[in-house]
Amino acid sequence: IFDSGQSKSITLDDIFISVKTTKFYQYSRLPIILKTWFQLAKEQTWFFTDTDNPRHQNQTNGHMVNTKCSASHQLKHLCCKMSVEYDHFLESGKKWFCHFDDDNYVNIPRLVAVLQKYNHQEDWYLGKTSVNKPVDMFKKPTNELLYTFWFATGGAGICLSRSLALKMLPIASGGRFISICESIRFPDDVTLGYIIEHLMEKNLTRLPELHSHLEQMKLLNPETFRDQISFSYSKTAKGWNVINVPGFNHRYDPTRFLSLHCFLFPHFKFCPR
Ligand code: UDP
Ligand code: MN
């Protein structure tokens, strides 16, 4: 009856949720998150951006972090935010680090339920691969294949257990992550894969419940929405890549995230009765 050991069951409060965003999306993508899933994880979610906005600082109760990372597309700048996210997670003392992009909808209850299946005291790298083949690293200039590794795509969501994150500390903390990005010349999510799979020799565990807009969103069955952890959207030359969910009209809710939120939580304040 008495559990003398550490209880493995976690709650939302054990998760550090970080969202990468930028001033370019502060009036388009950010408001949708603030209106929907952020309301279910206000204390646990932090935004990593490159600007100061008192209104958003107020709306999030101070959860906007100005990383001072440059808002440019240079590799070292893109890796800069992940580096700051990781350092903030270490500082937070939480059991899980989950990173998302600002075009993700996070189904909070499902995120908690899935993480409960894993032990944060073990090493876990949870995510979804972007393509069905691993990254090949070649030796320059001979092009000899050096090694191969998998990585979880940042646009679907990535979770690391504290145990794993702590083991990365000597090589990745305090901005060292940025140096690794620059040395291998890959984006932040690929660099995470390089550090974890190649340097630390821990394998990625695939979570099928994570979704990036590399997938066709309309192929997700609404009957399974409740089981999914993340969703995404994108606007392409061919139109919107969005989930097929009933709800608000497409002009008012082009990303479908407001409709998805009401589909999952019909009693929410802005949802029709
Ligand atoms: N992003 C950023 N700085 C930029 C451009 C994008 O921090 O200059 C972030 C953006 O907020 C998002 C992620 O990087 O969280 C991916 O950006 P986006 O969805 O525009 O590009 P994708 O790689 O998905 O095509
Ligand atoms: Mn995106």
Instruction: Summarize pLDDT for 15-38 with one digit per residue, the tens.
Output: 999 999 999 999 999 999 999 999
Gap between the Cα atoms of 184 and 124, Å rounded: 23
189 noted as active-site residue: yes
Residues 115-145: b if buried by 16+ CB within 10 A, e if exposed: beebebeebbbbbbbbeeeebeeeeeeeeee
Are the beta carbons of 232 and 217 closer than 8 angstroms?
yes
Alpha carbon of 237 to ligand 2 centroid (Å): 14
- Residue 187 has a pLDDT of 93
Secondary structure of residue 194 in the 3-state scheme: helix
* Residue 169 CA from chain centroid, whole number: 20
**Average pLDDT, rounded, for the chain:** 95
- Residue 140 has a pLDDT of 87
For ligand 1, atom 21, name the residue with the nearest CA: 155
| Closest C-alpha among 149, 57, 49 to residue 101 | 49
- Where do we find the tokens 């899980």? 96
Instruction: Write out pLDDT tens, residues 108-138.
Output: 999 999 999 999 999 999 999 988 789 999 9
Secondary structure of residue 21 in the 3-state scheme: coil
For ligand 1, what atom is nearest to the CA of residue 102? 15
CA atoms within 13 A on the CB side of 224: 14
pTM for this entry: 0.96
Q: Kindly identify the ligand whose nearest atom is closest to the C-alpha of 49.
A: 1
Gap between the Cα atoms of 25 and 50, Å rounded: 11
Alpha carbon of 190 to ligand 1 centroid (Å): 15
The strand pair at 234-236 and 64-66 is best described as unpaired
Q: What percent of the chain has pLDDT over 70?
A: 97
Burial class of residue 185 in the structure, from the number of CB atoms within 10 Å of its CB (0-12 exposed, 13-18 middle, 19+ buried): exposed
> Which one of 102, 186, 233, 257 would you pick to mutate in the ligand 1 pocket, going by the greatest count of ligand atoms within 8 A of its CB?
102
> Which one of 56, 101, 234 would you pick to mutate in the ligand 1 pocket, going by the greatest count of ligand atoms within 8 A of its CB?
101
Residue ranges of the chain with per-residue pLDDT less than 70: 1-8
Gap between the Cα atoms of 85 and 98, Å rounded: 10
- φ, ψ at 129 (rounded to 5°): -75, 150
- Residue 4 has a pLDDT of 52
Backbone region of residue 68 per phi and psi (left: phi > 0; alpha: psi in -120 to 50; beta: other values) = left
Omega before 54 within 30 of 0, i.e. cis: no
Tokens of 116: 């409960």
Angle between helices 162-172 and 176-184 (to 10 degrees): 70
Tell me which residues have their CB closer than 6 angstroms to ligand 1: 20-22, 25, 71, 73, 81, 101-103, 155
Alpha carbon of 234 to ligand 2 centroid (Å): 6
